[in-house]
Copies of this chain bind each other. A is one copy, B any other.
């Protein structure tokens, strides 16, 4: 029996297809994170999946599309981790602390996401610009929310939450730069603490 309308039907094939796409994303993500986009070959990804590389093209159009999926995947992980991290505590100060720490700690684990955002060699990907903008906006919203709640609870003293949020975001990005260039150590911890201190000292109502 021929299908009348493909888009309304779901076969077993399609289910497994999504499942397999996820597998590819995970495998590829690990390899990308180690070698970077350019130095990762389709053969390697295929080998990790125990397949011929041509099979992968049945699920993805190109290496680029795989990378895009990986970055999206990691971006979502980051978003989830951040939201749960700020939900897990009550006080605005802790929320802010958690947010900042989780964000910085994720840097190594989600290296594809951050590479996509920072690496100049990856500029030619259109989706990167989109993702960057989108997540910048989201981050700003979260920061503003934290600040807003802090202000409501009389813990923060914020005049303009939007600009304050932007300032914090800028600082966080500044922190990321050395992490991107020198993957190792750069004892971010201490700098983070210092920045948080400064941040709170200027923000917390006395």
Contacts and interface: CB of A to CB of B under 8 A. Distances in A.
A35 B35 CA distance: 7
Interface in A17-49: 35, 39
A30 to B, nearest CB: 11
The bracket for how many chain A residues form the interface is under 10
A35 to B, nearest CB: 6
A33 to B, nearest CB: 12
Interface in A27-74: 35, 39
Contacts of A35: 35, 39
A35 B39 CA distance: 9
Contacts of A39: 35, 39
Nearest to A39: B39
A101 B155 CA distance: 51
A35 B183 CA distance: 14
A152 to B, nearest CB: 43
A39 B39 CA distance: 7
Interface of A: 35, 39
3 contacts: A35-B35, A35-B39, A39-B39
3 tightest Cβ-Cβ pairs between the two chains A and B = A39-B39, A35-B39, A35-B35
